[in-house]
Amino acid sequence: MDFIRYAERSASLVNAELPDAAALRAHLADRVWLHRSVVDEDVRRLQQFQAELRGVFEASAADDVPLVVRSLNDLLARHPVTPMISDHDPDNLHMHVANRAASVAELLVGEALMGLANLVCDLGATRLGTCSETRCDNVFVDTSPNQSRRYCSDRCSSRANVAAFRARQRAAAAS
């Protein structure tokens, strides 16, 4: 179980537009084996979970450590995870977050919560953020060594740089 990868997937889950089952399959483009299990109920549950999980990222972005811990513990209590040892590769026994009977929603929720809980315990509770680009409300996981990430993507970072440059030009022209 690679918890940083799961934590990063939880950010892309919050950022995903999930109006219907087709959108959820598109979100799972790199995991085609899950596509046939997707049902409308997964979409409904994940839409609700997106809103719940966004609160954890916002609490972390505000450096509110007790709120991050409380919110994640609440979510873990409400969405119990049933992990199992997988032997699909007998030479490499490893943990899967959910058992075989889990729905797609249960699997994604379990991965997100285990990823974030482990990230918080290993790297601290202030590693989650919301994008600083004013027109963007995406969230991200900050794994940079000096914890300096401010934008969800290179695209938002360069948009913000361009906006700051134009603002400096305007200020220079006005003075």
Q: Residues in the site for Zn ion, rule: CB under 5 A?
A: 86, 131, 133, 136, 138, 152, 156
Choice between 71 and 130, CB closer to Zn ion: 130
Residue 23: CB partners within 8 Å, gap ≥ 6? Answer: 16, 17, 43
- The runs of H, that is alpha helices, within the chain are 3-15, 21-27, 40-61, 65-78, 104-123, 154-174
N-term to C-term CA, the chain = 56
Nearer to Zn ion, 75 or 138 (CB): 138
Closest C-alpha to 8, from 127, 148, 122: 127
Strand partners of residue 96: 84
Output the smallest distance, CB 138 to Zn ion, in A: 4
CB of 98 to Zn ion, least distance (A): 11
In the complex, the smallest distance separating the C-beta of residue 91 from Zn ion, rounded to whole angstroms, is: 12
| Residue 166 beta carbon to Zn ion: minimum distance, rounded to whole angstroms | 18
- Angstrom distance (rounded) from CA 11 to CA 53: 9
Nearer to Zn ion by C-beta: 48 or 82?
82
Instruction: Please give the Cα distance from 60 to 3 (Å, whole number).
Output: 17
Q: Given the complex with Zn ion, which of 73 and 83 has the nearer CB atom?
A: 83
